[in-house]
Amino acid sequence: MKPTNLRSVSASTEVSAGAASFTPTFSWDDVVRVSQPEFNPNDYSNLRGFFDKIKACNRGAELQSEFLPFVVEDQIVGYIHKGFAEKLRSFEDVFILSKDNCDGGKVMLHQSLKSADDRTRAVGEVIKCLAENELIPGIRNELFPVTSSYGAPVFFSLERAAAPYFGIKAYGVHMNGYVEKDEQKFLWLGKRSLVKSTFPGMLDHLVAGGLPHGIACGENLIKECEEEAGIPRTLSSRAISVGAVSYSDIDGHRFKRDVLFTYDLKLPESFVPNNQDGEVESFKLIPVKHVANIIKRTDFFKTNCNIVIIDFLFRHGYITPECFGYLDLLQSLKSGDCS
C-alpha cells in the first residue's frame, strides 16, 4: 500500500469561523493501519513529514505587518490585527488606538483603567459584547494572564477564547504518558470528543491544558491528569518537567503566540486511562515508532500536539543526528518567542 492514499483516511475538514474546528472521518483502525512500517517502508529517516507539521503551526509570518502592538504600561503584551482593532474603536472608554507616524500606531488601554481588576472587568465587558456579535466565537469562561513574558507582572486577565485576537502570549502544559514493555516504549494517545469545540475527534497526546491565571504549571498538570485521563495524584506527581516548545501562527485576525511546557510521565503497564470530563472519546496505547509514522504520514493529530510529540522523539532517541535536517528540525520546535 502506498501513502498516496493517505488523504482518504485523513481528517476531512469543516472549518468554522474563527476557530480550528474539524470533523474527522478516521477510526483507530485507520490510525493503526497507517502507523505500520510496511505502509511506507522508505520514510524511516525522512523528516519532511515532521517539518510539514511544524510549518502548520507557524503560518503567516509575512503578515505580521498587519498587526498593531498592544501596549500596557509601556510593555508590548500582544498584537492586534488592524481590522480587529477597528472593532475596538467604539469602546473608547476601554481602548485607545494611537496613530504614530513613526511606528504605524498601537492599541492601549484607557488611562483610567489602572488596576488589574479594573482592566479585567472592562475588557471582559468588551469581549462579551464582541462575542454576542459573533466576532469572538467559542467563549470558554476561563481567564488567561496578560503579561509581557512568563513570570513577569500580570497586567490583567483575558478570556481564553479572545487570546489570539489580542495576540497575547498563552501558556499551556502538555504531557506525554508512556509505557515501557517488551524492551520498547509505547505512548498513550487520546481521541478527542466529537463535541469539543476545537479539533473534535482528532488525536491528542495523553494530557494537555491551557495555563489559566493563578495556578502553577505543576498543579495545573496534576488537575488536567485527573480530569482528562483519570491519573491519580500519586502517579501524576511523578511527571518530569522536560522543557518547552513554542510557535507563532497567524490566521486571519488571530495571532497565536503559544508556549507549551512539556512533561513526561512513565506509567505502569497496568495503568489504563479513563477520561473524567467528557472531552476524550477513547484512548489507545501505540508503539512510539508507530506514533512517529502517524505524525509524518497523516493529519490526524491536533496541530500543536505534533510539536510536543516530535520533541519527545528527539529526547528519547527516535530522531537522531543521522537524519538529514536534524538540527533545523530541533531548532524549529521553538519557532515562537519562547519567553
What residue ranges define each of the domains in the chain, with the CATH number in brackets? Answer: 28-57+169-333 (3.90.79.10), 63-166 (3.30.750.160)
Helix 288-297 / helix 48-56 crossing angle, nearest 10 deg: 70
Average of per-residue pLDDT across 303-329 = 97
Residue with cell 495571532: 255
pLDDT in tens, 261-297: 999 999 999 999 999 999 999 999 999 999 999 999 9
Measured torsion, CA atoms of residues 297, 300, 306, 309, in degrees rounded to the nearest 10: -90
By DSSP bridging, strand 95-98 and strand 207-210 are: unpaired
What's the pLDDT score for residue 283?
Answer: 98
Residue with cell 519562547: 338
Supply the pTM of this predicted model.
0.92
Cell numbers at residue 334, please?
Answer: 521553538
Distances (CA, A) of 103 to 73, 92, 100, 109, 231: 18, 21, 6, 18, 50
DSSP, res 301: B
Longest dimension (CA), the chain: 66
Q: Work out the number of other CB atoms within 10 angstroms of the CB of residue 74.
A: 7
pLDDT at 43 over 90: no
Average of per-residue pLDDT across 188-206 = 94
Q: Give the span between the Cα atoms of 95 and 80, in whole angstroms.
A: 12
257, β-bridge pairs = 169, 248
Confidence of residue 197 (pLDDT cuts 50, 70, 90): confident
Q: Give the span between the Cα atoms of 249 and 330, in whole angstroms.
A: 18
Cell numbers at residue 84, please?
Answer: 480587529
What's the pLDDT score for residue 2?
Answer: 39
- Scanning 24-115, the segments in alpha helix (DSSP H) are 28-35, 48-56, 82-88
Q: Give the span between the Cα atoms of 98 and 40, in whole angstroms.
A: 55
pLDDT at 19 over 80: no
Element (H, E) at 191: strand 184-192
pLDDT at 9 over 50: no
Q: Give the span between the Cα atoms of 68 and 82, in whole angstroms.
A: 6
Q: What share of the chain is helix, strand, coil (3-state, %, to 5)?
A: 30, 25, 40
pLDDT at 8 over 50: no
Average of per-residue pLDDT across 169-194 = 97
